[in-house]
Amino acid sequence: MKKVNYIPVLLVLTLVLLMDLYVFQGIKVLLLAGGISLGYPVWGLYWLVSVTIAATFTYNVIRALSTGNIPSYFNFAVNTFLTFFVTKLVFVLVLFAEDVFRMGYAIFNDGRWPERFHFISQMALMLSAFPFFSFLYGVTKGKYNYKIHRHKLHFEDLPPVFDGFKIIQISDIHAGSFDNPKAVKRGVKLINAENADLVVFTGDLVNNKSEEIIPWLSTFSEIRAKYGKLSVLGNHDYGDYVRWDSINEKIANLNSLKKYHAEIGFRLLLDESVSIRKGGEEIKILGVENWGLGFGERGDLKKSMRDLNPSDFKVLLSHDPTHWHTIVKNYPVKVHLTLSGHTHGMQFGIEALGLKWSPVKYRYPHWAGLAHENGRYLYINRGFGFLGFSGRVGIWPEITEITLHKSV
């Protein structure tokens, strides 16, 4: 059993308790307006639901942290907790805005606080319904709501014969989280429908253990591409986040995962490169082991370039985008395009009506989509699967289509 730091858990529980107390102030206004008595049955039901959700979440998190293994009901506990937490948070923010007004009123009226307004509590309830139903959709349908993002990139030094070359990127499969074979097969069909020249996978095939991919081997082996399929490892593929009986067991897990890449038809690149040849010309695809700030700096970019010429057109597969920000974009040898994943867009955010926001931006300033700097491109895929929170809200699973073009 691992030693668990209970302080963050206690802080979260304290915050949830305070939120529950605050939320009940608005619920009380609605109940009284509806003629419902606030006796023990009402109080008891409210706190029974709240405490059960919090306790189930706490138990599952502590169990996962202490044993290094994910309990059977972990996803259900996390999904339920987050759904109600965000819903209550919206309710609290509306009530807080009302209390700011009530405080201002009291300041200018001899400390007399007005009663809570019924319509404000109604508004809080209506607004909080949006996150509630959004999360409900996210944990049922949204996590398989695959979206294809298409981009055309132009390069002056792209070999002319590769003009129009289509690369399909997927990332962060996290096979151990899947619970709907039919939906996953639909995602694979969408990949094949794009008729790719090359398919690349940028890491995190599993959550922790290689065995997680076994039920899905036949599904992902159906992916087709004219010039083959290439892949790299992500931080979760190394088994760093679970407890192993021995280092040999952990090594064996990684070795079997590498074999599973081959079984689904992907050539795994481990600090190396391959040539894609077409019409007497070629481009180079490089792949490095995971390199990420705070997530293991294993990859060796220099090693992956040992058989290359500086003038070669290069596409790099590197799981963590911090590799590009820290090393690749300013590397002496130009890498034209880097394909990454890792962030998942935190599986929660807004991408609509010109808005693009997710809490993950406070960890990764660029967390999804295309970036361009110093004549070099980075693309961050939002992920094919999901992890931790078994759902997606606003940030949908992604299949990326990048078409290379020769600048005129």
Domain map (residue ranges) of the chain: 6-138, 142-406
Ordered DSSP codes for 229-255: EEEE--GGGGTTTS--S-HHHHHHHHH
The CATH number, out of the four listed (3.60.21.10, 3.40.190.290, 2.40.50.100, 3.40.50.11740), of the domain defined by the range 142-406? 3.60.21.10
User: 131 pLDDT exceeds 80?
Assistant: yes
User: 1 pLDDT exceeds 60?
Assistant: no
Q: How many helices and strands, by DSSP H and E, does the chain display?
A: 9, 14
Q: Say if CB 358 and CB 48 are below 8 A apart.
A: no
Residue of higher predicted confidence among 136 and 72:
136
pLDDT digits (tens, 9 = 90+) for 226-282: 999 999 999 999 999 988 989 999 999 999 999 999 999 999 999 999 999 999 999
For range 311-322, the mean pLDDT:
97
- % of the chain exceeding 90 in pLDDT: 71
Please tell me what DSSP assigns to residue 26.
H
For range 164-190, the mean pLDDT:
97
Q: Count the Cβ atoms, other than its own, within 10 Å of residue 235.
A: 20
pLDDT of 200 reads 98
User: Taking the C-alpha atoms of 330, 334, 335 and 337 in order, what is their torsion angle to the nearest 10 degrees?
Assistant: 90
Phi, psi at residue 216, to the nearest 5°?
-115, 5
